Amino acid sequence: MTDTDRYTVISADCHAGADLLDYKPYLERAHHDAFDAWAATYVNPYEDLLADTADRNWNSERRVRELEQDGIVAEVVFPNTIPPFFPSAALMAPAPTRAEFEQRWAGLRAHNRWLADFCAAAPGRRAGVFQILLGDVDEAVEEIHRSVAAGLTGGLLLPGTPPGSGLPELYSATYDPIWRTCAELGVPVNHHAGSASPPLGDEPAARAVFMVETTWFSHRALWHLVFGGAFHRHPGLALVLTEQGSGWIPGVLDMLDYYHGRLVSAASEAADTAEAKFGAGLADAMGKGPSDVWRAHCYVGASFMRPHEVPLRDRIGLDKIMWGSDYPHDEGTYPYTREGLRLAYAGLSTAEIAAMVGGNAARVYGFDLDLLAPIAARVGPTVAEVDEPLDEPPADATSPVFAKGGSVRVW
């Protein structure tokens, strides 16, 4: 690539959803009266969904225009607004009663239908991530088939199983039909940050504790599926861990390899030790060790990478990293994506940058790079632009990637 060539930037972490009342046409008619009653008294708990900029979630033309202004040509679309019958974001809501559970399933189906239409409004430029609940595996499998048939190529959004949820843990074979269906249909399983933390209450320390623990609870999906043997039983399964950072991955893989080797070794010995019992059956269930499973099946939606994470790219796997802007969240890089890319990637080879900002996401989510090339040629950041180090952050930037202390680079 020359200095004037432009990168094809695909955000592997964006969010969207319908305005509250606009979900009604996507609900089964049997739920319309209940929806009217629910919507009449619902109070949205999220300030960003009440602000003047909330329509970024559903205004397709505005969204295309702003993403193009930011140098982005395509996006993986995670949910953001409140689906029908949920008190808060779908993945953060506590386990409901059976009646609420049925209504919430209807609400998620409505969101998935809306999302299919939203993605169709920008052909080839949006990979919608559809939602399920884990409390009914058969219904989840049906919804996976429906969503993929409707054109949602972003794959499944995997809820967490936080302590107190009453759900089987993610390593349970209970969920094998879900893994099998995603593997057979060739769509990834996505696990987004914030989806697995238990409720922490309203004490003053709760927000700080949430920030400390939320990514750890999200990381659990990795070792649950690895040690549970999901990838061994379903060789086509792919897992994407999104908005959880990426710098933690090499250390966690080292830890998982250590425990795997230690327990498998103990189980292979004739001695009847405690560790031998812990490791019994592990080798047969997993097939490969954790690092090998990572290399064969796993990816990271690294969102806006910090400079201190970039030197770890080879240990993480250059072919595993997918950059994301987190649009339209305040913590996202919009409208300073070009500056965020410069901050992280200035000085790297063009091949490495091209892979992380778009090539890997195109491969994982099925974007057509030939279709996107003319758009990138018009709006993408140039090679020379990204290669210029960022000396000062934008004064009004809201993304933590630009904050002092947000990286090892000192302003």
Q: pLDDT, tens digit, for every residue of 135-163?
A: 999 999 999 999 999 999 999 999 999 88
Looking at residue 192, its amino acid is H
Please name the helix (run of DSSP H) or strand (run of DSSP E) that holds residue 101, with its range, or none: helix 98-120
Rounded distance, CA 281 to CA 264, Å?
8
| pLDDT over 50 (residue 411) | no
Q: What is the pLDDT of residue 93?
A: 62
Reading the block at residue 3, the tokens are 């200095």
- Partners of 131 in beta bridges: 157
- For 254-290, the pLDDT digits (tens) are 999 999 999 999 988 866 788 888 889 999 999 999 9
Q: What is the pLDDT of residue 409?
A: 37
* Domain assignment present for 407: no
CB-based burial of residue 286 (10 Å sphere; 0-12 exposed, 13-18 middle, 19+ buried)?
A: buried
Arithmetic mean of pLDDT, 383-409: 85
* Domain assignment present for 318: yes
* Domain assignment present for 61: yes
Q: Which residues contact 322 (CB under 8 A, 6 or more apart)?
A: 10, 12, 13, 76, 240, 299, 300, 301, 302, 356, 360, 361, 364
Beta strand 239-242 with 189-192 is: parallel
The predicted model scores a pTM of 0.95
* Domain assignment present for 2: no
| pLDDT over 80 (residue 408) | no
* Domain assignment present for 5: no
Average pLDDT along the chain: 93
Rounded distance, CA 84 to CA 106, Å?
8
* Domain assignment present for 183: yes
- Domain with 314 in it: 10-402
Q: Please tell me the total number of residues recorded for the chain in this structure.
A: 411
| pLDDT over 70 (residue 119) | yes
Other CB atoms within a 10 A radius of the CB of residue 139 amount to: 17
Percent pLDDT > 70 in the chain is 96
11-25, 93-107, 208-222, range with the lowest pLDDT: 93-107
> Sheet harboring 298-303: ordered strands across?
10-16, 74-79, 126-131, 155-157, 189-192, 239-242, 298-303, 321-323
Looking at residue 62, its amino acid is R
φ, ψ (nearest 5 deg) of residue 339: -65, -40
Q: How many domains does the chain have?
A: 1
Arithmetic mean of pLDDT, 70-86: 96
CATH of the domain at 323: 3.20.20.140
Arithmetic mean of pLDDT, 364-375: 98
Q: Are 125 and 191 in contact (CB under 8 A)?
A: no
Q: Are 158 and 190 in contact (CB under 8 A)?
A: yes
For the chain, give the longest Cα–Cα distance. 67
Arithmetic mean of pLDDT, 201-220: 90
* Domain assignment present for 38: yes
Specify the higher pLDDT residue, 408 or 320.
320
Distance between alpha carbon 176 and the CA centroid of its chain, in Å?
21
* Domain assignment present for 410: no
Q: Are 78 and 157 in contact (CB under 8 A)?
A: yes
The dihedral through the CA atoms of 257, 260, 263, 267 has a sign that is negative
Q: What is the pLDDT of residue 270?
A: 67
Peptide bond into 328 cis (omega under 30): yes
Reading the block at residue 143, the tokens are 């919804």
Arithmetic mean of pLDDT, 31-40: 97
| pLDDT over 50 (residue 330) | yes
